[in-house]
């Protein structure tokens, strides 16, 4: 091979390689939706509704005719304990606009278990009133998928006013 042509061949080869390194034009694809993210849809709406003090927005996330409801197992600051069960109507009656601003959130990534059309979400939470953590504990939601849509069947939570993380 002619040594004069070798550098030209190497340059041509490098130029061909650079043109082949380009990616094809981008065609945006919808992000895949995980089953876990679908289970979280009604819970994210629930928390937003608590922030808005909107009982009807919470009602839209519930399976009202399934015999479910809300149960709290609270430990008061003095150490006394109480367990209270509420029907959905009793629970929703407590969600109303008022002088205080509420904010509930999971404090970490909740555990999500799914089997067919049932799911369970379990995670630590805080509830803030006017920007200050008032209670904390664990939220446990039971969900049912009907007609392709997840609905809350039951919610159970522990509640304490001491040893809560800061907001």
Does 149 reside within a domain? yes
pLDDT per residue as tens digits for the range 62-96: 999 878 899 999 999 899 999 999 999 999 999 98
Q: What is the pLDDT of residue 166?
A: 80
Does 21 reside within a domain? no
pLDDT per residue as tens digits for the range 40-66: 999 999 999 999 999 999 999 999 987
Does 20 reside within a domain? no
CA triple 122-126-129, angle to 5 deg? 145
What is the CATH classification number for the domain harbouring 154?
Answer: 3.10.450.50
pLDDT per residue as tens digits for the range 104-115: 999 999 999 999
pLDDT per residue as tens digits for the range 122-163: 999 999 999 999 999 999 999 999 999 999 999 999 999 999
Q: What is the pLDDT of residue 31?
A: 52
Does 136 reside within a domain? yes
Domain extent for 53: 35-160
102-128 as b/e, with b when 16 or more CB fall inside 10 Å? Answer: bbbbbeeebebebeeeebbbebbbbbb
Alpha carbon distance 127, 130 (integer Å): 10
Confidence (pTM): 0.78
Number of domains in the chain: 1
Does 17 reside within a domain? no
Does 14 reside within a domain? no
Q: What is the pLDDT of residue 1?
A: 46
Does 1 reside within a domain? no
């Amino acid at each position: 091979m002619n040594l004069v042509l070798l550098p030209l061949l190497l340059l041509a080869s490098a130029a061909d390689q650079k043109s082949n390194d380009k990616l094809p034009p981008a065609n945006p694809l919808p992000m895949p939706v995980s089953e876990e993210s679908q289970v979280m849809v009604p819970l994210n709406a629930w928390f937003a509704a608590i922030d808005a003090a909107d009982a009807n927005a919470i009602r839209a996330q519930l399976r009202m005719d399934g015999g479910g409801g809300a149960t709290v197992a609270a430990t008061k600051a003095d150490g006394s304990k109480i367990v209270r069960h509420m029907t959905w109507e009793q629970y929703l009656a407590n969600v109303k606009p008022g002088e205080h601003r509420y904010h509930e959130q999971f404090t970490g990534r909740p555990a999500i278990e799914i089997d067919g059309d049932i799911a369970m979400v379990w995670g630590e939470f805080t509830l803030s009133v006017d920007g200050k953590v008032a209670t904390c504990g664990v939220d446990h939601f039971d969900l049912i998928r009907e007609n392709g849509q997840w609905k809350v069947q039951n919610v159970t939570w522990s509640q304490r006013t001491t040893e809560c993380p800061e907001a």
